[in-house]
Structure 1
């Protein structure tokens, strides 16, 4: 693992309202598009929509404000892992009317297990290789027993040799929490929604 890390830039998808009540999310830049969420996935503001490679640099694409719904339509499956998109090309269509119980179920999942001890979970916002520290000779971002606060970095996710910070920024979790356990091992390959930390609320 190299000590010199390049952090991935981020872009917001363009939101377009459709006549049938759905929402289209459009490419914010031309480039090579990859790793979209699957049809049936719940998308909320700030969620990762995939990645656009621009002149060899990977950009993380996030859902803009007011983007809320179930992915009802995605581009046709192609054999290539990446496909060329132009600025304004439709990446996904969201159907807010298809939410049903998915939104509340997602909120419940974010609040953590419903067991009586109040344990909470913080999960990975996207797939990638998880790193607990900025470099091999650096201390871990967080440790078990530590109190963390909103916005604090808890690790890094690597995709295609670029790195994005994983921050404690889930609005459904308390502003301050005590880390009970770091579930994700250093350099573990995570999927979106995999548990990184177990927590309990803290008033300290």
Structure 2
């Protein structure tokens, strides 16, 4: 990572194939997953380093899905939080997606929010999800796996605050899929 007064450049930690999940203009903060890097067919989540926050001004590949990168290549350029006029509370809300209750990807794959392009989404922001309910699909090696709302750390029901990946985005195991607000105990 390189910094100057108005921006930070987030650099590649290794040689590999980079995939961005943070589009230009998105507000990002410390700990947030902003992409993945594939090394020898293994994907690793890339997170914003501690003490860094801002708006994505540019990213490598300019819209390409998979971009070959070298060690030290600039992956993202962020304008600093003070320059874009964000408040500390806005940044903490953005960072809080992972710190609060969330439903995470059980494995790496491609996320789909609906059973087919012509059908309604399984869930929408503001919906209540219950244990055992399908919340999306995860395509792994041309096989579609149902993502079922369940887990020891999750309440029996919760309200969907935000659906983080867009339809067709790649996710890495452990990426947050749903930011949730609990409404009942388990």
1:104 aligns with 2:83: no
Alignment pair present for 1:37 and 2:22: yes
- What does the per-residue CA deviation read over 1:45-64, in whole Å, with 9 as the maximum and x for residues that have no partner? 11112011111111111111
Root-mean-square deviation (Å):
4.5
The answer to whether the aligner puts 1:198 opposite 2:181 as a matched pair is yes
> Cα gap change, 1:123/1:89 in structure 2, threshold over 3 Å: closer, same or farther?
same
SS of 1:40's equivalent in the other structure is coil
Which protein shows a greater Rg? Answer: 1
Q: TM-score, normalised by structure 2?
A: 0.54
Give deviations 1:75-131, integer Å, cap 9, x for gaps: 2525x421110000000111113342365345457779xxxxxxxx8456789549x
Q: Residue 190 and residue 85 in structure 1: after superposition, are their counterparts in 2 closer, same or farther (change >3 A)? A: closer
Q: Note if contact 1:177-1:201 (Cα within 8 Å) is conserved in structure 2.
A: no
Once the two structures are superposed, the pairs formed by residues 123-134 of structure 1 within 5 Å of their partners are 123=102, 129=111
Alignment of 1:136-147 (within 5 A): none
Name 1:85's counterpart in structure 2.
69
Q: 1:181 aligns with which of 154, 158, 178?
A: 158
Query: What does the per-residue CA deviation read over 1:23-47, in whole Å, with 9 as the maximum and x for residues that have no partner?
Result: 1100000101112411111121111
Q: Which runs of 5+ in 1 are unaligned?
A: 1-14, 113-120, 131-142, 146-156, 162-175
- Against the structure 1 CA distance between its residues 183 and 44, is the aligned structure 2 distance closer, same or farther, given a 3 Å change threshold? closer
Once the two structures are TM-superposed, the CA of residue 69 in structure 1 deviates from its matched residue by 1.1
Instruction: Please report the TM-score for the alignment, with normalisation by the length of structure 1.
Output: 0.50
Mapping for residues 47-126 of structure 1, pairs under 5 Å: 47-77=32-62, 80-96=64-80, 97-101=82-86, 104-105=89-90, 107-108=92-93, 122-123=101-102
Relative to structure 1, the CA distance from residue 160 to residue 177 in structure 2 (aligned partners, 3 Å threshold; closer, same or farther) is closer
